[in-house]
A = this chain, B = another copy of it.
Amino acid sequence: MASNTFGRQLQLTTYGESHGIAIGGIIDGVPAGIQLDLEAIQLELDRRKPGQSAIVTQRKESDIVQFKSGIFEGKTTGMPIGFEIQNADQKSKDYGHIKEVFRPSHADFTYSKKYGERDYRGGGRSSARETANWVVAGALAKQIIPEISIAAYTFSVGELSITDRHKVDMNQIEKNPVRCPNAELAQEMETYIKQIRKEGDTIGGQVKCIINNVPIGLGDPIFEKLHANLAKAMMTINAVKGFEYGSGFSGTTLKGSQHNDEILTNETTKTNYSGGIQGGISNGMPIEFTVAFKPVATLMKAQSSIDESNKQVTVEGKGRHDPCVVPRAIPIVEAMAALVLADAFLINKTNR
C-alpha cells in the first residue's frame, strides 16, 4: 500500500534509494502566491549534508536540489512542486559485502522478509539518505509559516546532557559541529564523539526542539492532535526511539496541582507543562518536545549476524558512517516539525 506520502493538506510524496540515480519528491497543496527563497532551501540542505566536520560521515553528497514545477516567476502557483536531488556519489560497489547479509539492527532482515526483494545497496530505501527529501520540503514549508520559528538542538550525546546548570544560548547552536547551545558542553560532546569513532563504535543522544510564535488553534481534535502528528513525524526519522512533549515522562511523577498550567488574564500560562498544546490544539505558548535517537547501527567493528540462508556470518561496516547521528539530525527534526505545523496551519483555515 502507498506509504510514501506525508501530511493531509500539505502533502509530501517521496521516492528514491540511497544508491539509485536520484531521490526526490512532490510537494502538493502549497498555496499559490508565496514568494519562495530557493537559496534558503538549499542552505537547509547544506546543513544536513555529510562531510561538514570531523565528527560526521565523510561520504560526499553534492546534494543540490533542483525544482521542476509549481514555481513561476519566483512564486508558487498552487501546482505541485516536483524536486530532485541527484545521487552524485553512488559507489554501490562498497556494498557488495552486505548483499546477502542481514546487518544487526538494520532494516535488511525485515525488508527482505516483507517484500521478498531488497535493494541491498546502502540500505536502499531504508537509508537516511531519504531525509534529504524531507529537509527540502520542510525548508519550503517554513516559508508557508514564516512567522513561526522552529529551532532544534542537541540536548544530549550519550550521558553528556544539558542540565539545569548549563546555560542554553540558541545563538551557539550553529557555531559548533555538535549543534549544542552550550559551547562548553559542545566541546565535551565533540571530544566524546571522536573517541567513540576511534573505537569503531557509535553513540545515541537526544534532540530538543522549541517552536515559538505558534498561533492559537493549530491541530485538530481526536485523531489529528498536533502533538500526535509531531510524534508520528519524529518517530518517522531513522533511529528515533522516543518522543515526549511538555512535561513528558517526568510529568508522570507530578501531581495535578503541580502540573496544571495556570491561565493568566493575558491568555498565556504561568508554567508550560502542557508544552504549548492542550487537547491536541496549540494554545499559543512555545511548543517543546524531545526526541530520542539510538546509536547508529553501522559499526566499524565485527558483529555476528546471519545471511539470507540463515547461516551465521560476521559483518563489519565499511565506508563512511556517522558515529553519532544527532548533530546531522537537527535540520531533519526541524524540517519534519515544519511540515506538521504548515499542514496544521493550512487546515485551520477551514474550521470556521
Residues on A facing B (Cβ under 8 Å): 1-11, 13-17, 20-26, 28-29, 31-33, 66, 68-70, 72, 75-82, 84, 102, 104-107, 109-111, 113-119, 124-126, 130, 156, 158-159, 196, 199, 201-206, 216-217, 220-225, 227-229, 231-232, 234-236, 241-249, 251-267, 269, 273-275, 277-283, 292-299, 301, 303-306, 310-312, 346-352
Contact = CB atoms under 8 A, between A and B. Distances in A.
Given A306-B264, A347-B350, A245 B242 contact: yes
A100 to B, nearest CB: 13
Q: How many copies does the complex hold?
A: 4
Given A22-B68, A241-B252, 17 more contacts: A5-B11, A13-B13, A14-B222, A15-B79, A15-B82, A21-B68, A78-B115, A107-B278, A110-B281, A116-B352, A125-B221, A126-B221, A158-B252, A206-B249, A241-B244, A251-B295, A256-B296
A31 to B, nearest CB: 5
A245 B229 CA distance: 17
7 nearest A-B residue pairs (beta carbon): A107-B279, A242-B244, A15-B82, A3-B220, A202-B256, A110-B281, A32-B115
20 contacts: A4-B28, A5-B5, A24-B82, A29-B350, A31-B351, A77-B117, A78-B114, A78-B351, A79-B124, A102-B263, A106-B279, A110-B216, A110-B282, A111-B281, A201-B255, A231-B231, A242-B243, A244-B292, A249-B292, A265-B310
A251 B204 contact: yes
Given A77-B115, A79-B124, A262-B303, A223 B6 contact: yes
A311 to B, nearest CB: 7
A97 to B, nearest CB: 16
Contacts of A21: 66, 68-69
B105 A260 contact: yes
Contacts of A283: 109-110, 113
Contacts of A244: 241-244, 249, 292
A20 to B, nearest CB: 5
Nearest to A225: B236
A216 B113 contact: yes
A186 to B, nearest CB: 17
